[in-house]
Amino acid sequence: MTDAASRAETLSRELDFAFRNRADLYRLFYDELAGEYGPDKAEAIMVRVVEKRGQEVAELAFSQFGPTDAREIGEAFLAISPDGGRMYPTDVERSATAISFKVKRCPLKDAWVEAGVGEEKLATLCRIAGAFDRGLFEVTGVRFENVTWTPGHGSGCCHIKLSNRGA
């Protein structure tokens, strides 16, 4: 293996670890907040914070787009997907006015499953993580639909659809 290939493989593993660390922080913050305020309030607090972070990222990544640029926003999102899209592999459907992603793997969900999180809590953590996507995409003005993982949803993760306003 070349030095560049070895370095790329190392960076890929480190990136995966960083996302799994993010998942562990979500899980631990949720547990602490739920113990203090109850599960509903804990989820509401975390959703607000995670959504705000998504909005901050959108201001940098998508500021040049507007409510009729759903396909372009989706393509820009795919172009900056971590590790060349390998971290969050997706099935993508495109039309002139919309784009849909079916996420096949999520390192956050993987980390929660490996930590032994039960299905109900896993669904809660997925909703919390999905707030990032809501913040990221809704701030652009496009229509945003997201179905996060729930029991019976299958092995994949969330399903996101962006469509132009007025389309």
* Domain residue ranges of the chain, discontinuous segments joined by +: 3-163
Give the pLDDT confidence score for residue 4 in this predicted structure.
Answer: 83
Is 117 strand, coil or helix? coil
The pLDDT score that the predictor gives to residue 82 is 83
How does pLDDT run across 78-92, given as a tens digit for each residue? Answer: 998 888 888 889 999
* pTM as predicted: 0.91
Per DSSP, the three-state class of 62 is coil
Q: Write out residues in the chain with pLDDT < 70, as ranges.
A: 167
Position of tokens 């759903």?
A: 70
3-class state of residue 93 by DSSP = strand
Which position has the token pair 């029991």? Answer: 151
Sign of CA dihedral 28, 33, 39, 42: negative
Q: Report the C-alpha gap between 111 and 17 in whole angstroms.
A: 9
Is domain 3-163 classified as CATH 2.60.40?
A: no
CA 99 to chain CA centroid, Å, is: 16
**Beta-carbon-side half-sphere exposure of residue 148 (alpha carbons within 13 Å):** 18
Pairing of strands 143-147, 98-103: unpaired
